[in-house]
Amino acid sequence: MDSSIKLKSKVENWKILSQFIESFLQKCGCVKNFIYEFLLSCEEIFVNICFYAYKSAEGEISVDICMINDHIKIVFSDSGAKFDPTKFENKNINSKIYNRKPGGLGIFLVKKTMDEMKYTRKCDKNILVMTKKIGR
């Protein structure tokens, strides 16, 4: 089972995408906690693409989701500015809050929530593949 959607890179479109993802996960029999964690990670990625990939212009984001055995795989692709979130510096969450620089906590959360996160740049497109084992 797999499904795809294309959306304009507008934060307002998160509602459409979240309903799309949640519906897919429910059809796969995923429990509420899994769905919540998966949606939280997807929201972070989607919003980052909307804010940073296309600067002030509006672009398009393609999302493909599928279930492979006991894993859910989701692929985000866009033609925006190159950005590899897997190379993004991890936050030191143990340091005092006033010593931390703003930003990056969302990507840290995604890395901790998902089982795997791979990035490639192909044909001027950012392609981010994330997988999470059902029930984790």
Give the domain CATH number at 93: 3.30.565.10
Q: Hey, how many other C-beta atoms are within 10 angstroms of the C-beta on 114?
A: 21
The residues near 57 (Cβ < 8 Å, ≥ 6 apart) are none
Question: What mean pLDDT comes out for the span 25-48?
Answer: 96
Say yes or no to pLDDT of 118 above 80. yes
Q: What is the span of the domain harbouring residue 23?
A: 2-133
Name the domain count of the chain.
1
Which of the pair, 55 or 6, is modelled with greater confidence?
6
Percentage of residues in the chain having pLDDT higher than 90:
73
Given a contact cutoff of 8 angstroms between Cβ atoms, the answer to whether 78 and 49 are in contact is yes
The residues near 58 (Cβ < 8 Å, ≥ 6 apart) are 8, 9, 10
Q: Quick one: pLDDT at residue 136?
A: 57
Say yes or no to pLDDT of 41 above 60. yes
pTM of the model: 0.88
Question: What mean pLDDT comes out for the span 67-86?
Answer: 95
